[in-house]
Amino acid sequence: MMTQRISIVENILNANDRLADENRSRLDEFDVFALNLMASPGAGKTTLIEQTLSLLPKQHHVAVVDGDVATSIDADRAAKAGAVAAIQINTGGGCHLDAVMFNQALDKLDLNQVDILLVENVGNLICPSGFKLGTHKSILIASVPEGDDKPYKYPGMYRGVDALVINKIDLLPYVPFDMDYFKKGVEILNPGLVIFPLSCQTGQGIDKWIDWLSKALIDIHNSQ
Amino acid sequence: MHELQITESILKIAMDYATKEGATEITDLYLTIGDLATVVDDSVQFYWNIIAKETIAENAQLHFERIKTELLCMDCNARFHPNPEDFTCPNCGSIQVKVIRGDEFSLDAIDIETEKRK
């Protein structure tokens, strides 16, 4: 019997990251611009998707992948709102989507028919930030009723995203929410992050989000 | 919540390497976890005790090395350990910082037993 030490130094999430890279190549091959939408439960991810579907110029074909612990309520809403396809992933208790689940969802889509793919992650401000999917941009949807301390409490999530939506600004008069304190927390974690304060209820501010999305789509096509 | 999945990855990586070396037992695993990686040691240990049962890693000890977050200020080049909620440079007040250490999450080495010298 002999004992020996084997050096490994392998990133434990490597397998996920490798598959995320494959997912990205597949999206690029079909010219699909994919966004990973993350938020806490109830922030308004599905409502933002519905609004985005109705306001984006109709020449864009948008598909939606919905991650939830259970039910197909969200995918049904997306299909009704005009998505060319809506795939529901039930994680069966899992707290986040990972590259494997996203890969399986891509198998179910005809990517030739899709320009924009909106991925609605499981409602959770912690775990989704740790698992790459292979999407081009990560978007965080915060909302006013959650409170202005969330950047301070969930730094990992706020640090890793490419754009931030602050939903439900129509509730600002009724809820204690210090926008300056909130934005300061964001700036510390993610300097220069583009922020869209908006309300999916009243429509205020959504035009800027749609403009950004349209421009990002053009940029990604030009860079390929 | 996702520590089960992570622990399964750790076991898989360790088993792949151990099998290649003809191990009869895995006795120790050395893991590095940065403070920015949202992984809880106790939770990994809890799942390990369940999923490693009846494998050659059943009696293995998990060793965790925690890495403190270290940042580099892009304006004044100061290196510092921030407190968890404020990444502002204590030297010049800049918020343009880069993470140097703290987001690691790796299996660095394992100790194995083999029947005989190769």
Q: Taking CB atoms and an 8 Å limit, are B115 and A189 in contact across chains? A: no
Tell me whether A92 touches chain B (CB under 8 Å).
no
In a domain, B94, yes or no: no
Residue B97: which pLDDT band, with cuts at 50, 70 and 90? confident
At A21 the pLDDT is 96
Residue A224: which pLDDT band, with cuts at 50, 70 and 90? low
Give the tokens for residue A217.
Answer: 């789509």
In a domain, B76, yes or no: no
Domain total for chain B?
1
- Report d(CA A198, CA A169) in Å as an integer: 6
> Residue A36 forms beta bridges with which residues?
A119, A138
Give the tokens for residue B58.
Answer: 């059943």
- Name the more confident of A158 and B96: A158
At B3 the pLDDT is 84
Q: Which residue of A has its CA nearest to B93?
A: A188
Inter-CA distances, B60 with A32, A38, B48, B108, Å:
45, 37, 9, 15
CATH number at residue B55: 3.30.2320.50
At B38 the pLDDT is 77
Mapped onto helix, strand or coil, the DSSP state of residue A204 is: coil
Tell me whether B67 touches chain A (CB under 8 Å).
no
| CA dihedral for A105, A111, A113, A117, sign (positive or negative) | positive
Q: Which residue of B has its CA nearest to A127?
A: B2
| CA dihedral for A63, A69, A71, A77, sign (positive or negative) | negative
Tell me whether B4 touches chain A (CB under 8 Å).
no
Q: pLDDT of A119-165, one tens digit each? A: 999 999 988 988 999 999 999 999 999 999 999 889 889 988 999 99
Q: Taking CB atoms and an 8 Å limit, are B105 and A11 in contact across chains? A: yes
Could you tell me the residue range of the domain that residue B37 belongs to? 3-68+102-114
In a domain, B110, yes or no: yes
In a domain, B8, yes or no: yes
Inter-CA distances, A103 with A3, A137, A139, A155, B6, Å:
40, 17, 19, 27, 19
At A166 the pLDDT is 98
- What is the rounded average pLDDT for all residues in chain A? 93
Mean pLDDT of B85-109: 88
At A133 the pLDDT is 96
Residues of A within 8 A of B18 (CB-CB) are 6
At B103 the pLDDT is 86
In a domain, B79, yes or no: no
In a domain, B49, yes or no: yes
Residue B115: pLDDT over 70:
yes
At B117 the pLDDT is 56
| ipTM summary value | 0.78
Mean pLDDT of B94-102: 87
Mean pLDDT of B43-66: 94
Residue A222: which pLDDT band, with cuts at 50, 70 and 90? confident
In a domain, B60, yes or no: yes
Q: pLDDT of A55-101, one tens digit each? A: 999 889 999 999 988 888 999 999 999 999 999 998 887 889 999 99
At A219 the pLDDT is 86
SS3 string of A148-190? CCHHHHCHHHHHCCCEEEEECHHHCCCCCCCHHHHHHHHHHHC
Tell me whether B85 touches chain A (CB under 8 Å).
yes
Rg (CA), chain A: 18
At B1 the pLDDT is 54
At B116 the pLDDT is 67
> Which CATH architecture best describes the domain A32-223?
3-Layer(aba) Sandwich (3.40)
